[in-house]
Amino acid sequence: MPDKVFIDTNVLIYAYSEDEPDKRQRAIDCVRSGEAWISTQVLNETINVLKRKFSLSYSQIRDAVQELSEGFPIVFVSVNTIEMALNLAERYQYSYFDSLILASALEAGCQILYSEDLQDGQRIENQLMIVNPFG
């Protein structure tokens, strides 16, 4: 059975980028490497980047959201997720929003978090391994 993996926004964005083909392929490989999950936070951040950086129309963004929501199980950020994120931020000294990603991945039961921004190789709560696919 493949690992459950969580995809951070930065990795997901590279899957859309045509500027860096090597990173794009690695991001696509991450998505295909196991049962890949995202959260409502990742979805919202992706929408923001697609509009701001890629200058996509809202119609194109709607299509992307539809594709993502059909392609990934999504963790909905709840009050419990927020409370876990606050505890993780305090324990591991990550920012609140990075800790919200960690909490979402843990709630989904993921074993791997693909992220370019967090500490490669760090294990969180004896469950989740952070992996930088570009490092």
Q: Read off the pLDDT of residues 31-87 as tens digits, 9 standing for 90 and up.
A: 888 799 999 999 999 999 999 999 999 999 999 999 999 999 999 999 999 999 999
- Which pair of tokens denotes residue 35? 């049962």
At which residue do the structure tokens 């570009």 appear?
A: 134
Task: Give the residue, 16 or 2, on which the prediction is more confident.
Answer: 16
CATH of domain 4-131: 3.40.50.1010
Q: What is the pLDDT of residue 33?
A: 85
Mean predicted lDDT score pLDDT of the chain = 95
* pTM, to two decimals: 0.94
List, in order, residues 6 or more apart from 7 with CB less than 8 Å away. 30, 31, 36, 37, 38, 42, 72, 114
Q: What is the pLDDT of residue 29?
A: 93
3-class SS of residue 49 = helix
Q: What is the pLDDT of residue 3?
A: 87
Q: What is the pLDDT of residue 16?
A: 87
